[in-house]
């Protein structure tokens, strides 16, 4: 008699391929959650993140923020700031505040007793006439003057160049896209700036630009996989094709006329003995580039009539071709390079071959370099103020050595939250405050300007308020902003730059009437 299907037991199901696959998946999820590496953890600290937002309940009920999309026209006509209206300064940390564990407690003690009392008082938190929080850039040594002069030059057809280094948020053009858009609307669209010759992460990209690439490129970057000679170009990544037929394309898409036009393309590549040939096409113009030469970084520029040109690079064979990226520009306005690599920290910039990095920086001829790090540093076990200060000081010193007169701006990380085990409330990770304090000290010591993102977004506990905002400004990982939150930070940075630029212009001698 044949067996009855209904009597088949559950162990038989587990022995099937589907059952084995499900079991292996569950084991894999469990191992990932138990590793000491927080980036591998898939279960959020707040498990309610799995629920639809309307079904969630919170134990802390933070202050609600009224949020809205950034109005570019209002930002362009932004009136003078209103001193202190509606703004609450962050309070000092209470000595009995519950914290996550012994390591966080140690960091908190370091922070409390190693204060920055020798530095000037923090600038007051104000707001614009539109209601956006406004925190001034701290610049006692006038580091930002070169960039402000470059902004002035755009009125006479000049170009102002900024390079914004950072981590995962900058990789996806978060924050930078808003700062770039607002600066270009006010001072002129100078183009997309430097764009990598491929993707270092699935979400790498640039607003108003379609990036396409063939599959035959090898990718090396500051984090991993690394390359032996440590030459990563100005953007922290290099792309290698071994033969002909590989390609990468850049197609401006434009949005309300912005980011649509290009008049010049600069190709950054590595010359090498035995190197192959490369064809650059922009509009109706083509140029062949032979990368076979003595080893060293090179730049080739092609200029054409201004238009919505697609740029295409294609390898022609004859040997390996190694690219860094392409700069797409116009002849007037602001050029704002977004240079983000996932998982990076400021100290990783020291991994680059220093002569090569300095050469690449000088080829870009920036007026302003922004260092925007701290999120990944807050993951480091045993981070101390002394170690972090030494690493950051060395990195900033290398930049100053490469470009002695450049404007230098250190931008602090945004707030990051943990759920306190005793109270159940979302609180600021104490290590974030340590990082912000050290960054401010290094900026003053190295002659850089400093902008305190953490204070600008509200200081102590601000990530909790951003997470609870409607619409939401921070994501469920309690670390990264949403699109709206990133736009808000970019707009606050723009407002701070315009506040400093306005003060700079006030200090300039008035021209006599003709």
- Alpha-carbon distance 414 to 435, whole Å? 11
CB–CB of 302/263 below 8 Å? Answer: no
Written as six digits, the tokens of 399 are 């930049």
| Dihedral angle of Cα 382, 480, 221, 36, to the nearest 10 degrees | 40
Phi-psi region of 419 (alpha: psi -120 to 50; beta: other; left: phi over 0): beta
- Alpha-carbon distance 276 to 272, whole Å? 9
DSSP 8-class letter at 229: T
- Alpha-carbon distance 461 to 446, whole Å? 30
- Alpha-carbon distance 340 to 174, whole Å? 10
- Taking the alpha carbons at both ends of the chain, their separation in whole angstroms is 112
Q: What is the secondary structure of 456-479 as a DSSP string?
A: HTTSTTHHHHHHHSBS-SB-TTSS
- Alpha-carbon distance 381 to 284, whole Å? 54
Domain boundaries, the chain: 52-190+332-507, 192-331
Q: What is the pLDDT of residue 3?
A: 47
Cα separations in angstroms, 497 against 107, 145, 292, 453, 513: 32, 11, 43, 13, 28
- Alpha-carbon distance 280 to 198, whole Å? 15
Protein fold of 52-190+332-507: Rossmann fold (3.40.50)
- Note the pLDDT tens digit of each residue in 436-490: 999 999 999 999 999 999 999 999 999 999 999 989 999 999 999 999 999 999 9
pLDDT in tens, the chain (514 residues): 444 444 444 455 545 767 677 777 777 666 655 544 444 545 544 444 444 444 443 433 334 454 667 888 778 776 556 544 333 333 332 333 333 343 444 344 333 334 455 789 999 999 887 788 999 999 999 999 999 999 999 999 999 999 999 999 999 999 999 999 999 999 999 999 999 999 999 999 999 999 999 999 999 999 999 999 999 999 999 999 999 999 999 999 976 568 889 999 999 999 999 999 999 999 888 999 999 999 999 999 999 999 999 999 999 999 999 999 999 999 999 999 999 999 999 999 999 999 999 999 999 999 999 999 999 999 886 899 999 999 999 999 999 999 999 999 999 999 999 999 888 899 999 999 999 999 999 999 999 999 999 999 999 999 999 999 989 999 999 999 999 999 999 999 999 999 999 999 999 988 665 5
Whole-model pTM: value is 0.82
Closest to 186 measured CA to CA, from 51, 340, 72, 345: 72
Q: What is the dotted CATH code of the domain comprising 192-331? A: 2.60.120.1360
β-pairing, 262-271 vs 296-307, is antiparallel
């Amino acid at each position: 008699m044949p067996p009855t299907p209904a009597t088949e037991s559950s162990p038989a199901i587990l022995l099937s391929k589907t059952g084995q696959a499900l079991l292996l998946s569950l084991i894999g999820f469990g191992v990932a959650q138990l590793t000491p590496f927080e980036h591998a953890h898939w279960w959020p600290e707040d498990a309610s993140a799995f629920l639809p937002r309307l079904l969630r309940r919170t134990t802390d009920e933070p202050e609600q923020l009224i949020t809205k999309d950034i109005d570019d026209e209002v930002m362009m006509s932004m009136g003078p700031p209103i001193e202190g209206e509606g703004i609450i300064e962050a309070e000092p940390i209470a000595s009995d505040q519950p914290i996550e564990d012994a390591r966080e407690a140690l960091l908190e003690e370091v922070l409390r007793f190693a204060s920055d009392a020798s530095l000037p008082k923090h600038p007051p938190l104000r707001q614009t006439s539109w209601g956006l929080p406004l925190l001034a850039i701290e610049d006692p040594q006038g580091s930002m003057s070169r960039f402000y002069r470059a902004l002035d030059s755009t009125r006479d057809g000049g170009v102002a160049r900024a390079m914004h280094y950072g981590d995962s948020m900058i990789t996806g053009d978060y924050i930078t896209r808003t700062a770039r858009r607002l600066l270009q609307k006010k001072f002129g669209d100078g183009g997309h700036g430097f764009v990598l010759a491929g993707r270092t992460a699935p979400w790498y990209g640039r607003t108003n630009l379609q990036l396409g690439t063939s599959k035959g490129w090898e990718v090396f970057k500051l984090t991993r996989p690394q390359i032996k000679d440590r030459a990563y170009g100005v953007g922290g990544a290099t792309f290698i094709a071994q033969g002909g037929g590989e390609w990468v394309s850049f197609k401006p898409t434009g949005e309300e006329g912005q980011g649509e036009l290009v008049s010049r393309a600069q190709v950054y590549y590595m010359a090498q003995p035995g190197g192959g040939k490369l064809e650059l096409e922009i509009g109706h113009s083509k140029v062949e580039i032979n990368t076979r030469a003595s080893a060293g970084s090179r730049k080739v520029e092609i200029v054409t009539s201004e238009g919505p040109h697609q740029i295409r690079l294609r390898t022609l064979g004859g040997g390996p071709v190694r690219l860094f990226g392409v700069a797409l520009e116009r002849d007037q306005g602001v050029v704002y390079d977004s240079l983000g690599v996932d998982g990076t920290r400021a100290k990783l910039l020291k991994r680059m071959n220093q002569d090569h990095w300095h050469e690449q920086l000088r080829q870009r001829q920036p007026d302003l370099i922004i260092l925007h790090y701290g999120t990944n540093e807050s993951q480091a076990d045993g981070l101390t103020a002394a170690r972090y200060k030494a690493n950051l000081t060395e990195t900033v010193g290398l930049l100053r050595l490469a470009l002695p007169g450049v404007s230098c701006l250190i931008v602090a990380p945004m707030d990051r939250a943990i759920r306190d085990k005793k109270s159940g409330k979302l609180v600021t990770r104490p290590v974030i405050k340590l990082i912000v304090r050290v960054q401010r000290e290094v900026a003053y010591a190295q002659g850089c300007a400093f902008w305190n993102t953490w204070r600008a977004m509200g200081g102590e506990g601000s990530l909790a308020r951003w997470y609870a905002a409607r619409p939401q400004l921070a994501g469920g990982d309690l670390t990264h902003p949403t699109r709206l939150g990133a736009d808000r930070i970019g707009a606050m940075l723009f407002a701070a730059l315009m506040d400093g630029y306005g003060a700079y212009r006030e200090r300039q001698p008035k021209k006599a009437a003709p």
